[in-house]
A and B are shown apart, each in its own frame.
Chain A
Amino acid sequence: MSQNKIKQQVEDKILESYESMYRIAFTYVKNADDAMDVVQDSAYKAIKYAASVKKEQYIETWIYKIVINCAIDFIKKNQKEILTDIPEELERPAAPENEQDFDTIGALDILNEKERAIIILRFFEEKKLEEIARILNINLSTVKSMLYRSLKKLKVELKKEVFNYEG
């Protein structure tokens, strides 16, 4: 596939799925501004390195991989700042647009970054376990055991369907 063609396809896919990208980013960074930064940065990287997508069928995998990596990078680099920023954060009036009750999403915080990605991709973005394995660069059995572990942490009662569900 020519580089320009793949670039165009990556661009189309981004424009088709930026809302999903945003929700994934938001689940990690938890505010609109930062989530938008992460999505913009992901779009930039996805196009810039589009040449490394070898097969058309992996374009979506590639975009999800980038957005998750960017979101995780973002929170890692802001860990310190977030801690010291708390007083200022309290003073700042919340923008009406961002007023939303995310207590339940906050429940995902007990999971580590990869586990969180697995829950988001499996249940919210309804990806197959094989796709998740490819997105996170881990093998299928690791995905399964991490999914099991994550659900346990979330105190979700396990049902067999969880593993058989094919989306």
Chain B
Amino acid sequence: MRDNRINEIKQDYDAIAVPKNLEERVKQGISRAKEKAQKKFYQQPVFWAKFGSCAVAAMAALTLITNFNAPIAQAMEKIPFLGSIVRVVSYRTYEENNDNMNAKISVPEIEAKNTSGEKNSTASKELNDKIKQYTDKIMEQYRADVKATEGEGKEDVLTDYKVVTDNSRLFSIKIETSISAGSSDTFYKIYHLDKTTGKIISLDDIFQKGSGYCNVITKEIKRQMREQMAEDNQKMYSIDDTDMPENNWQGITKDANFYMNEQGSLTFLFDKYEAAPGYMGTPEFTIPQETIQNIINPEYFVGN
């Protein structure tokens, strides 16, 4: 006994023809989500066990420092300065092809030299090994996908690298991977070598211990996201969604991908889907110096 008008609309609604390939598209969406869940493990940096929260990470670092302060200080003195010569000297490309599945993974080889011109093989090896471990995981995952689909799937995996910071203090190299299988995904891992110590560093190192930098940066990035959305209604970030709060971006963690841009400003690079719908691509956010100047270790903040 519903109203006629509603019934009329309902008839047209029921008559909406469902396209033949809808089922296939739905299944693609489902398998994509499952793949992504599986892939999570190799997107995590291999070396750093995930602590889960910034606070725990900072505490762990503090404990280490207090326990081993003296030996660390001694070790630091012994490390020769690398100077400014860190570069990519060559790369290898690993390629595998199946019917509709291809992987092309370029792995850079880095060489670090001390100011005297002498090769620092410890520093180079540590960085190269770490990158290789990471890219190996990507290749393994590709092979697992080939196996799982018996080579009948559709997948293109492309991994490449780019030096994103090369100033007097830091050498940062970005490993970029894009995977297309139905829809596409892009994710990054940036490695940083401290040229003065020859050590691989992380976000924790460039901030003062216990400074709560994750919260400060998260707040600033959210501010920029809101500002962009207010200025341009085509921009969208996964924050402040009260309908589906579980989809919201959870904020910066100590494993976040960052680099120093040419002005020496700290810049964060997001994976596709990390904090925005796919059409937003891989957004970047530069943190103004005044926002973080009280909590940084200033020696890392130098321009090119």
Interface residues of A (CB under 8 A from B): 7, 11, 14-15, 18-19, 21-23, 26-27, 32, 36, 39-49, 52, 65-66, 69, 73, 76-77, 79-80, 97, 100-105, 107-108, 119-120, 123-124, 137, 151, 154-157, 159, 161-162, 165
Contact pick for A107, options B9, B27, B37, B236, CB 8 Å: B9
| Bound-state Cα–Cα, A1 to B236, Å | 33
Interface residues of B (CB under 8 A from A): 1-3, 5-6, 8-19, 21-23, 25-30, 32-34, 36-37, 183, 233-234, 236, 242-244, 246-247, 277, 279
Residues of B within 8 Å of A162, CB to CB, are: 2-3
| Bound-state Cα–Cα, A14 to B23, Å | 10
Contact pick for B247, options A26, A49, A103, A105, CB 8 Å: A49
| Bound-state Cα–Cα, A159 to B3, Å | 8
A22, B279: Cβ atoms closer than 8 Å:
no
B26, A43: Cβ atoms closer than 8 Å:
yes
Contact of A39 with B25 at beta-carbon distance under 8 Å, contacts A23-B13, A73-B277, A157-B3 already known: yes
Contact of A22 with B18 at beta-carbon distance under 8 Å, contacts A39-B25, A77-B234 already known: yes
| Bound-state Cα–Cα, A90 to B182, Å | 29
How many whole Å from B36's CB to the nearest CB in chain A?
6
Contact of A40 with B29 at beta-carbon distance under 8 Å, contacts A49-B247, A65-B244, A102-B12 already known: yes
A14, B26: Cβ atoms closer than 8 Å:
yes
Given contacts A40-B25, A108-B9, A124-B10, 12 further A-B contacts (CB under 8 A): A15-B26, A18-B22, A23-B13, A26-B16, A40-B28, A77-B234, A79-B233, A102-B12, A104-B11, A154-B6, A159-B3, A162-B3
